Amino acid sequence: MLLISFGGPNAVDEIRPFLANVLRGRRIPPARIEAVVHHYERFGGISPLTEITMRQAEGLRARLASAPLPVYVGMRNWHPFLDDTLQEMSAAGVRRAVGLILAGHHSYSSCGQYKQNVAQAQETLRASGGRDLAVTYVPGWHTAAGFIETNARHIETARGNLPKHVRDEARLVFTAHSIPVTMAQASRYEADLKESAAAIAQRLGWANWALVFQSRSGRPGDPWLEPDICDYLRAESQHGLAAVVISPIGFVADHVEVLYDLDHEAAETCATVGIAMQRAASVNDDSMFLNALAEAVLAQCERYVGGRPLPLISSTPPRIEAAPPAR
């Protein structure tokens, strides 16, 4: 199995090289790049994404060990890079792999670009004389029961931390990374997000909800998906919105864009306009979420493998000791 993720720096001196990888091929004003550098510096140059991805990989290894199905991690923008991971897999004798992209909602930037990167890594592998490695991808899991249930539980926990006098009137606000409107029109991104949000809200019996966007990074004149989370909060405060629970369903880890854009900027906006706010945790390495991913991987194996089916995972997964929360 190939677990495919975004990647993130692990030290201050890695921030700019990491961002150079993220932004390769794009013309971004230096001032905008420096602003993002400061976001990472706020957290000591460490993105929690890498540590959380590795915990997710460990959880999947435990669940897929009886298949047996080894789990490799390949990152788009930082170590372990996809090129290096495919070289390692090929040298270990892997000839077929199931790829799982750690993004549940489909667009070019969230899924298509990663498949393109894997194809480039395959070309590099062949050019270096390595033996070819075929990759088939796990289909969409944005409405998988474990993904929905994990988000619902995290939202309930966050709602319980709101002041009691506003808890019942709070609005559930889902967030996801904004993308260009032209990219959204060519994909299922918005539809996938709305299906996830509706399923979670229905599971909670919470009718008062909205889907908004965050982390816009394009040129100011280009249309991107809106409303922006902070603009939305300011506007809704004028209509009497008293409390929100923010759920970052477009992300599977509490990384810098979640920590800065929501825990810092959105929280500051709420404090300014007088809205009580709690942010629900991302799915991270929650056991129920990892169960859902493991089931999706095994189902994809069974579609393509010849002979007897791979064994199903136990309904009672092995206990996994969680690492300390990323900071």
State the DSSP code for 10.
B
Handedness of CA 40, 41, 44, 45 (dihedral sign): positive
The confidence score (pLDDT) of residue 306 equals 62
The confidence score (pLDDT) of residue 9 equals 95
Q: Dihedral (C-alpha) 236, 253, 326, 265: value to the nearest 10 degrees?
A: -20
**What is the rounded end-to-end Cα distance, in angstroms, of the chain?**
27
The confidence score (pLDDT) of residue 252 equals 98
Q: Does the domain made of 2-141+286-304 have the CATH classification 3.40.30.10?
A: no
Residues of the chain with pLDDT under 70: 305-327
Cβ 109 vs Cβ 148: under 8 Å = no
DSSP H or E stretch at residue 151: helix 145-160
Q: CATH 3.40.50.1400: which residues of the chain?
A: 2-141+286-304, 145-279
With pLDDT > 90 as the criterion, what percentage of the chain qualifies? 87
Right CATH for 145-279 from 3.90.209.20, 3.30.420.40, 3.40.50.1400, 3.30.9.10? 3.40.50.1400
Whole-model pTM over 0.95: no
